[in-house]
Structure 1
């Protein structure tokens, strides 16, 4: 009976402790400004009173930029009663105008919420736009899949600034990106420009070439930069965040009727041709330098689509390739060198070169045609004497000497009869792999033998030393 009474007292004491904790512990959510403009920075404080700080999340925080986060602990004793407060302090800046709810939810399910009304201030918007701007240069809002997209960001300021930093780089969620931003001694390149009738400084903070990974509507989040303006207080400056806007770009799919030999070149395409010679001998090369240029993605064109013909041996290579942004537009250039070696004499025509591509201006598949070139070939049909392929070099030299002797008349002059000289293919002697293995084995064996002799010498020398010491 006594034991049962004792247990009741303990349970009652524990219940009282829990009630006290619930009574005196509290979750508090405060804001230094409930109606800021989107240019104003304010503090949000999450406090746990008389309890340990729990893990929590803040719904609605995605509508604000978190500039910093700090923590603090404080203890107060009033009339013998101790109060502890553990807090997290966030410095926030609104991303846009409107009403937003910030709700703190702890692991135990406790909740606190605040309504933040971000005021629209058109007058301040106009003032800020005249002072700072993040200008995004993208020529169009709609592109075809496979088309290269030029993208540039420039920060413009009409006032003196004390500090500048890029808080967030642009976010290209579903694009392949080639960054071609240029710097001057690790600093942004600056230019003096006229902006809305005022002298301004322009910083090129990003320049890149984009290509969508799939079709459909895409989203790009621009850079976000932090700008500091000097004040009368040497140790303090006014800071402003600029940028972080969303851009929508529509990527259209290509038509399904893809032509033969299409290499995914999408854009515009032109060419320049240069033939080095138009009269050659049989077996002598006539060279074409072909430069393709435009907004089509020429990096995908590894070889020119030239049909093989019996009248020519054809060899080609890429001499150079470059891409850049000219003004606001994408531009690339690729030069091929093509050698046509005629097999027959007479008047011959080089094969026509046809390059299919999708023209983004006409929105149709088209062919870029490089017309054939008429050339004059001197000499008879090129022949290869396969029977002489395996003849030794010395014997070929003797045969050539005999030809020279038969061409010489008694007076020492050459006859007018032209002799046909067969092309002789010489084989180079190949080093057998077995000989290499034998050589390697011999070297290793020699090293092992030297090491064995050294060990025997050291052992004998040591024994000799011990015998001398005993004497």
Structure 2
């Protein structure tokens, strides 16, 4: 009997293709489903160590990012903090590795730590922090902070003892904080070194908790990648000691301040217990340093200079201008550099005297800090843009600032030299020019000069053509008379001339700003937009904008009948433009296009 299997077995080629497709689908499913099942969430949070703070105290803002494979995450963007000083910043990172159903997952937490201090008493809000990651923007919740007059920070207590104490945790392994001074003035530097002492073989896993250094601004001076051990004797016992970290502290308030404990996570190898315990055992241990007290002396209030800049240490002062000439209103930078050793980052900007015919903008601040010697030293530079309002020589008088020298225990005064520069192109000789750029010259007038050669004798006959031309000639004569009166008034009445030309001049300058906008030329765009607004207001209402301060100019516009909201919005735009145009580190909450459209709508309402 012959059995035909052809009808029972499918086509072999189709069968193989079907099998291959099934296998490929299973492989793809096996590869990608675990990633889908165990895809990590991205968490972005912000917390503070306390919500009630005393004036002069510090608190910590912790901004944390948690997720899988986030090693390349950028630093968060802090909101504007006008009510707080940012005294210091640092970061920490921890990683947790686990196995779920045979798959390894790695959760990483990165914490950005900011030390803040309030500027005044009241209730304030820390706005949302933002971070852009993998094409998405994440925000934290706002945080309410209450600032009270009296101190709220109680003396901290040492952290609890490790959960499983043993012989080595009682003295065989120690973490010791060593301050180089026990009494300092407010703002004076004190260095604290954290040493690890051990009599056992161990592995350092990392710092599990840093002190928040409440009441101090701090800078990390030494943070090694690998530890260097040396033999040292402590309480008559021999140890191997390694320096874990060195920080420079600057107290921002007086009183008896406490340096909080540091916590360090280590794995200690215990010695063998008996003959059968050949290699010994390892145990994870958390060791804690003891708190240290520092007596902080307040700065003397008697004979405290009015120009005290907040500096404590030893400093020098140098002032100069970036150039000795200015053409067509270009800004000249007044550069004030403070150099020396001490709390450079806490030095406030110098108060400049009132200088006639100069517009002074907010400074750009640059810091150059050197920590290599263990003492904070370097320079802090303030660059004030000065915009001349008139031609001629501009004199910058001598300036003084004071700081406190803890070695001599006295206030010392620094004095700069008298500076000057020359401005041209702001106004030109006899040409009448205002801050808005309006120029009135004699050539604007066109006198009517009759020509005797074209005068012909008229016939006594009257025709219908002459009857028709007679009223037209009277009308033209009236127009010519009014035009001449208009031209004469342009020459004699400056207010009338400025008001008449204000719209034309503004359109020209606004078009310049539009051209810079198309070219994406930020500096010239903001400068042109500011000049267009200020120039129009000066021309329209006959105001000498160069000789008036911003507040005086606002009051003058309000007295002319402008609404308060309109004036505030216009000067808000001007301030933003000046800040971005002349201070490169500044920015604005509106884009160039949005600012341009907003200006156009406001000016149309005028």
TM-score normalised by length of structure 1: 0.48
Which structure is higher in helix share?
Answer: 2
TM-score normalised by length of structure 2: 0.38
Tell me which structure has the larger Cα radius of gyration. Answer: 1
